[in-house]
């Protein structure tokens, strides 16, 4: 009696999350919604490292501190050990450390900024000025600006007062569970950028799409969390097809 050949395992996505926990949960919902699946078994295997004790990324970057790095590296190693085949980080500001994480692993580490700008271009909005709502650190690190500039798109960002009183305050409100408060603040900030000439918006902190879900603005808004989820689905479909193409045939009885 011949033993059946064990199928190759499906590629697993590793999620380096917890930054913050609600943003990670939002990413997972969007990942599931973006996956073309008709049953449980057709969804991708995902392993989530949801550890919120990573020091605040924005505070650290602005202070010149590397405090998040050992936590991010530990999460990466945990996901590698769990057998993940690619890594996603549903936190914009954590991408300050993206290049270093890439150098520490042979796994692809999908980039939320690249996914979001690709989504902006694919939608053919014709946007020439894009307003960015993000943490102060994400803005200072130019996680989006350089990619936009490479596509002849100007970035519009809040002035210092608006950033502090509305954007940063709203991000803190989401992390504290005060979604309604954040929605009011971010709606005001978004409309301020539109008034400055933004013909599209990037909701470039993973807390921001949570607060602005269902809000109608006067310009199209790109959700980088959703863009990253869709990029992960694209990666997984390609990896699954490659795995299926190389799978051994089952032994004949």
- Sign of the dihedral defined by the CA atoms of residues 204, 210, 216, 220, in that order: positive
At residue 135, the 3 state secondary structure works out as coil
> Whole-angstrom Cα distance, residue 111 to residue 224?
10
Rounded to whole angstroms, how far apart are CA atoms 128 and 81? 43
| Distance between CA atoms of residues 195 and 175, nearest Å | 28
Beta bridge partners of 50: 17
CB 230 within 8 A of CB 115: yes
Q: How far is residue 207's CA from residue 21's CA, in Å, rounded to a whole number? A: 10
Q: Which of 16, 86, 91, 116 is catalytic?
A: 91
Is position 205 annotated as part of the catalytic site? yes
Closest CA to 14 of 126, 90, 65, 96: 90
Query: Which of the following is catalytic: 79, 143, 205, 231?
Result: 205
Cα separation values, 34 from 13, 92, 195, 229, Å: 14, 20, 32, 7
Half-sphere exposure of 60 (CA within 13 A, CB side): 16
84 is catalytic: no
Cβ-proximal residues to 188 (8 Å cutoff; 6+ apart), any chain = 166
Catalytic residues: 91, 205
């Amino acid at each position: 009696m011949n033993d059946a050949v064990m199928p190759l395992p499906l590629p697993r996505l590793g999620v380096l999350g917890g930054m913050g926990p609600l943003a990670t949960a939002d990413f997972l919902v969007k990942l599931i919604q973006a996956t073309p699946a008709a049953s449980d078994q057709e969804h991708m295997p995902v392993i989530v490292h949801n550890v919120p004790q990573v020091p605040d990324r924005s505070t650290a970057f602005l202070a010149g501190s590397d405090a998040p790095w050992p936590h991010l590296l530990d999460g990466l190693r945990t996901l590698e050990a769990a057998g993940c085949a690619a890594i996603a980080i549903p936190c914009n500001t954590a991408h300050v450390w993206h290049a270093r994480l890439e150098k520490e692993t042979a796994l692809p580490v999908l980039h939320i900024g690249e996914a979001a700008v690709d989504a902006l271009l694919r939608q053919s909005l014709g946007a020439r000025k894009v307003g960015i709502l993000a943490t102060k650190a994400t803005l200072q690190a130019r996680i989006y600006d350089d990619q936009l500039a490479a596509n002849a798109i100007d970035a519009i960002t809040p002035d210092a007062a608006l950033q502090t009183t509305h954007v940063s305050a709203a991000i803190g409100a989401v992390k504290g569970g005060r979604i309604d408060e954040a929605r009011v603040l971010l709606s005001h900030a978004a409309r301020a950028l539109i008034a400055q000439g933004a013909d599209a918006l990037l909701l470039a902190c993973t807390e921001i799409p949570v607060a602005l879900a269902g809000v109608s603005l006067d310009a199209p808004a790109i959700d980088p969390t959703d863009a990253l989820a869709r990029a992960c689905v694209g990666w997984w479909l390609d990896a699954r097809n490659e795995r299926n193409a190389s799978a051994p045939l089952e032994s004949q009885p």
